[in-house]
């Protein structure tokens, strides 16, 4: 699965906030601002903060039943390019940070 995901200013995008197997995602920050990425087990909590600077690219391995939260804490809109492999039956949605 490949997609370009739009994240409004002061908003978050959640990938995998449902029961699923493990997956990997290659993320490229195509925003003019940093994007903070957290791993969030669906049973609660968050860990493994990663700060992706503009135009940076990384690969993240994600455990079963763990979501990724892409946080745009800037006052400017942002985008990330995602390429997901493994279990692609992942929920996708937004969570406003206000």
CATH for 18: 2.60.120.10
Instruction: Give the span between the Cα atoms of 37 and 60, in whole angstroms.
Output: 10
C-beta atoms surrounding 71 within 10 Å = 21
- Is 6 inside a domain boundary? yes
What pTM, to 2 d.p., does this model score? 0.93
How many residues does the structure list for the chain?
A: 98
Range of the domain at 28: 2-89
Count of domains observed in the chain = 1
The tens digit of pLDDT for each residue in 67-93 reads 999 999 999 999 999 999 999 899 988
The tens digit of pLDDT for each residue in 16-74 reads 999 999 999 999 999 999 999 999 999 999 999 999 999 999 999 999 999 999 999 99
- Is 32 inside a domain boundary? yes
């Amino acid at each position: 699965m490949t997609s370009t995901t739009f994240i409004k200013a002061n908003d978050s995008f959640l990938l995998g906030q449902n029961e699923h197997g493990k997956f990997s995602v290659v993320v490229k920050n195509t925003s003019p601002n940093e994007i903070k990425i957290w791993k969030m087990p669906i049973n609660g909590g968050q860990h493994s903060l990663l700060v992706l600077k503009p135009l940076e690219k990384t690969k993240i391995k994600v455990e079963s039943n763990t979501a990724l939260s892409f946080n745009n804490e800037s006052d400017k809109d942002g985008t990330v390019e995602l390429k997901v492999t493994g279990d692609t039956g992942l929920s996708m949605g937004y969570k406003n940070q206000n």
